[in-house]
A and B are shown apart, each in its own frame.
Chain A
Amino acid sequence: MKTNSVKIIALLSVLASVLWGYGLVVMVQDQFFPPSASVPSKRVAKAEHDKALHLVALGDSLTRGTGDETGKGYVGYLVDDLRTKTKQPIRLTNLAIKGLRSSQLVEQLKQLEIQRQLKQADFVCLTIGGNDLFQGGESLRNFSPQRIKQTEHAYLQNLETIFRTIRTANSQAIVFYISLYNPFQQLNNGQITSKIVRQWNYDSAEVAARYPNIIAVPTYDLFELHTNEYLYSDQFHPNKEGYKLIGERVSALITFAKGEGK
């Protein structure tokens, strides 16, 4: 009995070692003499539509939720709010990247999978431009009207491209373009920066108006009175309360839009 088990173990192991050895041979063939690289071509999957309400969030740190210690951001509060209003399951895909500028978003939107996600979307939330304009506070502290004008010009062109790409990918979804607020309102040159932000928002809304179902959502007023209460300690991003305000604002619009669209 004992001797048999030893024999069986030995036999099995020897057989197995043939397999491992073959594995090494395959490895040498495959890794050191790779088959004439038939680079697989890019392929894109079909968009699938399921019953869930699909929300795609795009943009920069605002959409990401930087500054909110719970990590939800306005998108999180928006989804929370929507869940209380509808029994339909909600699917959120947050594709926002911290520090993203409009030109980078244009690049990101070229990716096939991002386009596929957009195709599936019922709603799209978008924040962009904050990093173009403020550049982490640089351009406003030592700003020149000339430079701001250039920045804005480039930005508006990118925004046009972004909206066009979204509309081409998905002609139905309702897009909420969340416009800017002025985090530097209470600083020395608050008057001037506010003027720039207002102009910026106005021009952006003009671009949005050229496309059907792209809605420019103002946030400027939300932060106008109590700027510091709604800002995170970096004095730039909203805090939890600030994000809640934005989330509520968009949420109110979606209920309305749902009655219309669906």
Chain B
Amino acid sequence: MINLVYNEMLKIVRKKRLFIISAIIAVLVGLFTYAQYKHVQDVQKRLGTTDWRTQLQQQIIDTQNRLNSSGISEEWRKFLKIRLQQQQYYLDHNINPSAPGAPTFMRMFVENSIELFLPLMVMVVVADLVSSEASGGTMKLLLTRPVKRWKILLSKYIAMGVSISFIMLALVVLSYAISGAVFGYGGWNLPLLTGFTVQGEELNTANVHLIPQWKYLLIELGLASFVAIVVGTLTFMLSVIMRSTAAVMGIMLAALISGAILSNMVSSWESAKYLFMVNLRLTDYISGAAPPIAGMTLGFSIGVLAVWGLVALIVSFFVFITRDVY
């Protein structure tokens, strides 16, 4: 079995995708670091102070003014209101939610890439894992070996898991190394608040507690890898079903992008919460942002994603084992 997995890993590494992905991540992290640096400088210049409390207070006032202006949508108003209450909570307890530093940058990068960027990178690796064997004609050679079919597919699935773990690792290492050069490498022990829950338009702070940033980050990375595995499994299923890698990519891309768009406008379509793509932003539950549809919770979203993942896994094994190849 180990040999089979090793064989699959060899194929993946040979394709050089993992390196391309690392390069993409490096470039993006560089861009975001620069943008963030510019932004911080701009705010400091505008307010004439480096005191984060003044900056946060000013943000709160700006949000209050936006809430008072007419012509903002109901969803956006709710989102702003929740964020406002949260910012006020941070301010009241004298905790800086965005103290500069590489760990903070990593946290924000993970939070912003969990919905689209990370799934896309996963998709690039996984999309042709099986379909390329079918379209390249190597499938027959593979299946004529004296190894059970499920073992072959399992080895591919494990190789997928290993690759996803590598992508996560690249994301963490690169974003820490590159952003740290600008913002400094410290800040692992900064306190952060978690445990906010949203009830209607109000922010419930009953379960709020402090955790150090490294733990917060660990939690978010765990969730990100879970999302990556689920998206990977779905792509894997499509790759088993279809011979064309381009079709696999197309479908996944459409699903992921529609998810990003839907999350912004589905609040009135309640059954949309069972779609996997509106549940990808798991880290929002940790930070306490308002969910896209009322009633969605961390447990619910994890459950939905797990069901989608499991079904996809079962379908891919079933199809692969029973399919006639000729």
The A-contacting residues of B in range 18-63, CB under 8 angstroms, are: 18, 47-49, 51, 53-54, 56-58, 61
> Taking CB as reference atom, which chain B residue is nearest A52?
B48
Interface size range on B against A: 35 or more
Does B241 interact with chain A (Cβ within 8 Å)? Answer: no
B61 contacts A45, CB within 8 Å? Answer: no
Does A12 interact with chain B (Cβ within 8 Å)? Answer: yes
A93 contacts B91, CB within 8 Å? Answer: no
Shortest CB distance A201–B (Å): 25
A39 CA to B51 CA, complexed, in Å: 25
State the majority secondary structure of interface residues on A. helix
A39 CA to B205 CA, complexed, in Å: 9
Does B140 interact with chain A (Cβ within 8 Å)? Answer: no
Shortest CB distance A78–B (Å): 15
B48 contacts A89, CB within 8 Å? Answer: yes
> Taking CB as reference atom, which chain A residue is nearest B7?
A6
B298 contacts A93, CB within 8 Å? Answer: no
A9 contacts B209, CB within 8 Å? Answer: no
Chain A residue contacts of B208, Cβ below 8 A: 37, 39-40
A22 contacts B13, CB within 8 Å? Answer: no
Shortest CB distance A252–B (Å): 23
Shortest CB distance B214–A (Å): 10
Shortest CB distance B72–A (Å): 13
| Contact of A10 with B207 at beta-carbon distance under 8 Å, contacts A24-B222, A89-B48, A91-B48 already known | no
Interface size range on A against B: 35 or more
| Contact of A17 with B94 at beta-carbon distance under 8 Å, contacts A30-B194, A39-B208 already known | no
B225 contacts A23, CB within 8 Å? Answer: yes
Chain B residue contacts of A43, Cβ below 8 A: 93-94
Does B195 interact with chain A (Cβ within 8 Å)? Answer: yes
Partner of A20, one of B56, B57, B168: B168
B285 contacts A31, CB within 8 Å? Answer: yes
> Taking CB as reference atom, which chain A residue is nearest B219?
A27
| Contact of A93 with B58 at beta-carbon distance under 8 Å, contacts A45-B94, A113-B92 already known | yes
Among B158-166, B180-188, B268-276, B309-317, the one that faces the other chain is B158-166
A48 contacts B51, CB within 8 Å? Answer: yes
A26 CA to B195 CA, complexed, in Å: 14
The B-contacting residues of A in range 41-67, CB under 8 angstroms, are: 41-45, 48, 52, 64
Shortest CB distance B190–A (Å): 14
Chain A residue contacts of B168, Cβ below 8 A: 16, 20
Chain B residue contacts of A153, Cβ below 8 A: none
A53 CA to B92 CA, complexed, in Å: 25
Among A95-103, A158-166, A227-235, the one that faces the other chain is A95-103
Does B294 interact with chain A (Cβ within 8 Å)? Answer: no
Shortest CB distance A141–B (Å): 20
A13 contacts B13, CB within 8 Å? Answer: no
A16 contacts B166, CB within 8 Å? Answer: yes
Shortest CB distance B18–A (Å): 7
Q: Top 6 A-B pairs ranked by shortest CB distance?
A: A23-B222, A20-B225, A24-B222, A17-B165, A13-B165, A13-B166
Beyond A10-B9, A23-B225, A32-B298, 8 extra complex contacts between A and B, CB < 8 Å? A10-B5, A10-B162, A20-B222, A34-B209, A39-B209, A40-B209, A93-B57, A97-B61
Task: Tell me the B residues contacting A by CB distance below 8 Å.
Answer: 5-6, 9-10, 13-14, 18, 47-49, 51, 53-54, 56-58, 61, 64-65, 68-69, 88, 91-95, 161-163, 165-166, 168-169, 193-195, 205-211, 215, 218-226, 285-286, 298-299
